[in-house]
Amino acid sequence: MAFIDLDSDDPVGNASFYNVNGAVGYGGKNLVEDVKVVQFFLKRLYSLEDMKQHKPWGEMVVDGKVGPITRAWIMRTQQLSKGVMIDGVVDKAGNEQNPSNWESSISHTKYVIRMINNHLRKRDTAVYKTLPTNPVVPSDMQTIFQQIHAQGPPMNYGSS
């Protein structure tokens, strides 16, 4: 299941973020809750007024399954982002061999999960800060975010 992760560079001063336990996308672990979080975040991202014109093809369904629409939405997000690898995969930020959860040790590119979190935290602040209880968040997603929050640590939203 996705989890709250602390910023590797400054866990006290910088915002925490929702991370995935396994890669989401082509060839990833595609754990259902991780996939749902990524799908929900992408759907929210492309519902923002300034992102609607960039919305990928198809209608995103938050169902925990990685199919052609989810892959297309991940690819489109990577294409629009600076400094991320365009591979159709949302990797877990950081690992045992790489203490940084900002930049991958192999490709030296930014983690797309961090970018998605940052965009939503800054541009969809009211929803992002209330994911476990916000009425625009579907009840099954509220439950996932409630479970994530129950496992802690508490979210630090930084200065949005």
- Does the pLDDT of residue 95 top 90, yes or no? no
- Does the pLDDT of residue 128 top 60, yes or no? yes
Q: Are 20 and 5 in contact (CB under 8 A)?
A: no
Q: Are 84 and 112 in contact (CB under 8 A)?
A: yes
Q: Compute the mean pLDDT over every residue in the chain, rounded to the nearest whole number.
A: 95
- Does the pLDDT of residue 148 top 80, yes or no? yes
- Nearest alpha carbon to residue 3 among 14, 19, 16: 19
Per-residue pLDDT band at 9 (split at 50, 70, 90): confident
- Does the pLDDT of residue 48 top 60, yes or no? yes
| pLDDT, average across residues 121-130 | 97
- Nearest alpha carbon to residue 145 among 128, 159, 158: 128
pLDDT (0 to 100) of residue 159: 76
Summarised one tens digit per residue, pLDDT across range 11-32 is 888 999 999 999 999 999 999 9
In Å, how far are 45, 74, 104, 150 from 90, measured between CA atoms? 15, 7, 12, 24
Which amino acid is present at 7?
A: D
- Nearest alpha carbon to residue 141 among 56, 87, 66, 63: 63
pLDDT (0 to 100) of residue 65: 98
